[in-house]
Amino acid sequence: MDLNIKNNIMPSDYKRIRKDVEWHFLRDFEISKLLNNSDIKVSIYDNDLCVGVGRCLTDNVNLFLICDVMVMKEYQGKGIGKLIVNNLIDRIKNINSTDKYIYVMSVKGKEGFYEALGFKKDIKSGYCIHLLGDK
């Protein structure tokens, strides 16, 4: 592997990797919109192939929500997920603020991944409503 990091995500790569990891379908305009509205983005490339992505939503002071950390199936288990999350955390650390909370949304079964990266389950309010619309 010849890995390199870019601070952006191409919509076509996001779409392809999202399909590869078998997440819910999103329409193209929704993908463009969610990427445009994401504050911190990262893509990992193996040569010219984007093999993993991650993004973060933030108010740039207090709250940082890491989401959509996705690594292509055939590239999983090689440290790429860790590279994505650590890149996002490093960039969050560089933001000048006195009190930061970094949250992640973990799907069931992936809690251990985030725990391996230092996240602790001490969230004060961890409830959500998941709304699915028409395709």
Residues 13-42 that bind ligand COA (CB under 6 A): 21
Return the residue of 6, 57, 79, 89 that touches ligand COA, per CB under 6 A. Answer: 79
Taking the complex as a whole, the smallest distance from the CB of residue 46 to ligand COA amounts, in Å, to: 12
What would the x/- binding string for ligand COA be over residues 92 to 131, using CB under 6 A? -------------xxx-xx-xx--x---------------
What tokens does 112 get?
A: 């251990």
User: Which tokens belong to 29?
Assistant: 């305009």
- What is the token pair recorded at 14? 């996001």
Between helix 28-36 and helix 11-20 the angle, nearest 10°, is 110
Number of residues that bind ligand COA (CB under 6 A): 19
For 85, 92, 117, the CA distances from 96, given in Å and listed in that order, are 19, 9, 22
What CA–CA distance (Å, rounded) separates 124 from 90? 23
CB of 98 to ligand COA, least distance (A): 28
Q: Is the CB of 12 or the CB of 97 nearer to ligand COA?
A: 12
Which of 40, 42, 50, 71 binds ligand COA (CB under 6 A)? It is 71
What's the CA gap between 106 and 112, in Å, rounded?
Answer: 9
Measured CA distances, 13 to 44, 59, 61 (Å): 10, 26, 29
Contacts with ligand COA by CB under 6 A lie at 21, 69-71, 76-82, 105-107, 109-110, 112-113, 116
